Structures are given as C-alpha cells and as structure tokens.
Amino acid sequence: MKLLERISVLNWFTRIGLALVGGLSSSLAFPRENLSPIIIVSVVALFLSVYQLKVVPAFVIGFIGGLSFYLSQIEWMSLYLGPVPWIALSTLEAFIFAVGMSAVAFVWRGLSSAKLPKHFGPAIISLSLATIWTAREWVSISLPYGGFPWSRLAQTQSDTFLAKWVYWGGLGLLTFVLAFISASVAVVIVGRVKLRSPGMIPVFGFVLLSLAVPALTQIDPGAQTGTIRVGAVQGNANAGLFANPERGSILKNHLDASKGLDKGALDVVVWPENASDLSPYSDQSANRLITDFVDNQIGVPLIFGTITQRGESLYNSSILWRPGLGATDWYDKKRPVPFAEYVPDRDFWYQLAPDLIGLVNRGYEFGERDGIFEIDKAKLGALICFEIAIDDIGRDLVQSGAQVILSQTNNADFGRSDQTFQQAAFARLRAIETGRTVVNVSTVGVSAIFNADGSVVSQLPTFEAGVMQQEVPLRDSITPAMAIGSWFDLFINFAASLILLLTLRLILTRRNRSL
C-alpha cells in the first residue's frame, strides 16, 4: 500500500498521536528551549493528523492538537492562579484552533481531488494551507476580548535568521512562511507528488525564497537622528498581582537598584511596570522619595510604572517625572489583560466560575492617551507588559513618531518559568519589525535592550537587581512591515475566506456533475 493510501486511512489512534506529538513538541521550539526547527515538525504533524478527514472529525482531532499546543506552551499561567485559568484559556484557544484545522482539512481534501494546474498543484495546496493557518492565528490573537496574542509560530524564530521576515511584513508574514514550509513538507510526505516531479519546482522555488530573503536581508540599526543615553533598572521586586509585599518595598527595591546608575551619564532613566507599589499622586512618602531621587540623585527624567486612580477609575500607568517639575506626562495601558487586570462581562463569568472571577477584585480602565514621551528632541514610545505582543500597539507608536520603544513589564507572577523568555522574544521581534531599539525592562527579568536588527545590546540576569546603561540610536525610518503589516493581515483573512469559498464551489460543482 502506498504511503498516500496508508495516511488516508489512518486510524484514530494514529491521528490522535500525531495531534499530541505536534501540539506537545511545539513548546520545545519556543523560548527558553529555543529548539526552533522543531516548530516545522510540530506543524507538519498537526497537518498530517487531519489529512483526508471530513470537517467534523477534523474538528475533534484539531481540538486535541490545539489543546496540547496551548497547554504545553503556557503552563506558566498556573504558577500563581492554579490550573483553572490555564485549562480554561487553553480550551478556548483549542476551540478556535480546531475550527482552523477543520478548514485545513476541508481545503486540503477539496483541492487534492480538484484538477489543479499540473506544475502548480502542490504549491497551490501548500500556499492555501499556510494561508488558512495564518488566518486562524490572527483570529486567535484578536478574538474574543482582544484575543490571546501568544503562541504564534513567529515567536519561535526570534533568535534565528528567519526573524528578519518580520522586517518585511510583521509577525504574521513570518508565521505564514513557517506554515508554508510545513505544509510543503506535509504535501510531500503524503505522497501526493514525487520530489522530482515538475510540480515540485514551484514549491522548491518558494521554499528557497523563504530562506534566501531573510538570509540576504541586511538591517542597519544605526542612529538616524542622534542618540539618547538610557538607564534601565531591574529592581528584583516581588511585584506580582497577587503578591503581598511590605508596603513601599517595591519602590525601595528600585530606588536601591538605581544606585548603580552613573550620575551625569544618562538622559533618561526607565523603571518597569509596577516599579512603585505606591502612587506618588496619592501617597506623600512616595512623592517625596521619587522627587528626591529625580531632583537630587539622577538629575534626569524618570519613566516608571505604577497604579493610578482618577475618580473611581484605576489605571495601569507609566509616568514621566521631570527634575524640578514632577509628573508632566503619563501613559495608561490601552489593552489591560482580560481576566487578570479586568473581567469583561463580569456578571456572566461570575456565575460560571465565582472563585476564579472573585480573585480579580479590581478592574483597570482602558487608556486613551498616546504612549509618546518627549525627552529633549527625542520621542520615546512606551507600552506596558503584554502590549509588546499586540501588533497594532507597536504600529501606533511608530506612526506617532516613536524613535525608541520602551517595553515596561512585570514578570514577577510567573516565577522562573518560560513566560519571561517568551515575552522577551516578542520584544526582539518588535525591534526588527518596527526598526526601533526596544528597551525591555522587567521587575525580575528578562530585561534586555534589542537593536533594530535584533541583536542583543545589553541583558541582565533574571532575579537579580541590576542596571543597563546604553546609548541607543534614535530612528525615524519606516520599515516595510510598518507600511504594509496591517494590510498583510487584511489580505490573509480575505485570501483565506476566498480559498474556502472556492473550495466549496469546487466540491459542489463536482457533486452536481456526479448526479
């Protein structure tokens, strides 16, 4: 029996095994393991698990694959909140994943039996499957409640040469490239086409292009409109959402760690998200300590994170504090994390999980101010924590004139897990995508400075207090990704819809002819 025939009649145990292997192995490709090539093996196994299946069976297999895909990658969610949020989020994402795999099976099955152009059939199938996968990923990172912008194929390539694809089209384009390579391998494995057949020439051509473009891409990370000297402080503070440290201790940690800064050698100092557990707006002792630090110790502006309150509304904020002036500007987090920093539709979800929803006893409002802080003639773009993983936040900062990006984050809730390394991978990809140096500063790490070409300029050990001091370039140029990234997302979703409709038409036409 040919391999094609064997795969088409795979039993359920084999398919479940492929789905589990594909889903579970994917975690090895993500930071911190960083076994990047494994993501191809993972996606190939997931594709093969639904080959020749109808929509409903593909959904079942896809759900199994999706559940193992997410559970294995985001186990860090369970460290402080227990298994319920981890399982709940993974289950929701697995449902979306299963819908995507049903679409993959539907398209693959439909196109495999269609009369495609002889020399382009395998390439058409591979490109179609990659398009469906990429569109499904967009849905996962966008819906519902703003989506879960994690577990993206692009995230696995932050320290490989393939990362330069994000310079050309953003993270979605890199995901598409990886999905295409995986789909091409899967098409070859099922025996639909021989390696030496003419139909493989376009496939090999596209794969070669996928490798050649980033390999030949040269990115100049140098200054375009001057430089700015930045000091970034990691306080090694127990600043988790559910931590209960001594009042004022988190602020003290960052003040103590800042003693390592070189006075007079900097233009601005940056502390992470939640660096002050006391708001200087409402706590006089915090106001005096920060004022003394800025006016008398560093003598330059300080940008730091804290929780602020205006009226009855709470905000996760980043404040610009100037010598002799105090707070002159601030940025409120635009995209608080659902079910962590606020609860959408609280009454509904409380009925389903009162103990879990009860843990989130305060909700942060959505910020509306821009994230641009002006220091002399420099424009620094600030974002907070998981916003580094959200595509349109970075685009908005660049469009608003950001010349450097500050990513202020608090990873204390996730201990020594992979979470902080996965988040740092986003920071590195954003640097390449936006063409801006990204200063990623955390309460406990990973704190690092990434140049616009993705190179690591400076990095601190995790769970150690320390400072990074670096002269970073100010850049104004617009990368191709900043110009077309949002259009690429729109195109992929339109193309995926069109592929599904055309496949449906092919199937219906073939059925009508057989009647």
pLDDT digits (tens, 9 = 90+) for 209-221: 999 999 999 999 9
pLDDT in tens, 150-209: 999 999 999 999 999 999 999 999 999 999 999 999 998 886 556 667 767 888 899 999
pTM for the structure as a whole: 0.95
pLDDT at 9 over 50: yes
Do the Cβ atoms of 185 and 203 come closer than 8 Å?
Answer: no
User: CA-to-CA distance for 473 and 475, rounded, in angstroms?
Assistant: 6
Do the Cβ atoms of 238 and 209 come closer than 8 Å?
Answer: no
Question: Among residues of the chain, what percentage have pLDDT more than 90?
Answer: 80
Helices marked H in 271-352: 284-292, 346-352
Q: What are phi and psi of 469, to 5 degrees?
A: -125, 120
User: CA-to-CA distance for 367 and 373, rounded, in angstroms?
Assistant: 15
Residue found under tokens 């981890």: 86
User: CA-to-CA distance for 18 and 5, rounded, in angstroms?
Assistant: 17
User: CA-to-CA distance for 372 and 401, rounded, in angstroms?
Assistant: 8
Q: How much is the pLDDT for 82?
A: 78
User: CA-to-CA distance for 376 and 379, rounded, in angstroms?
Assistant: 8
Domain ranges of the chain: 3-219+484-514, 227-476
pLDDT in tens, 36-55: 999 999 999 999 999 999 99
pLDDT at 134 over 60: yes
Pick the CATH number of 227-476 from 3.30.1360.30, 3.30.420.10, 3.60.110.10, 3.90.25.10: 3.60.110.10
pLDDT at 58 over 70: yes
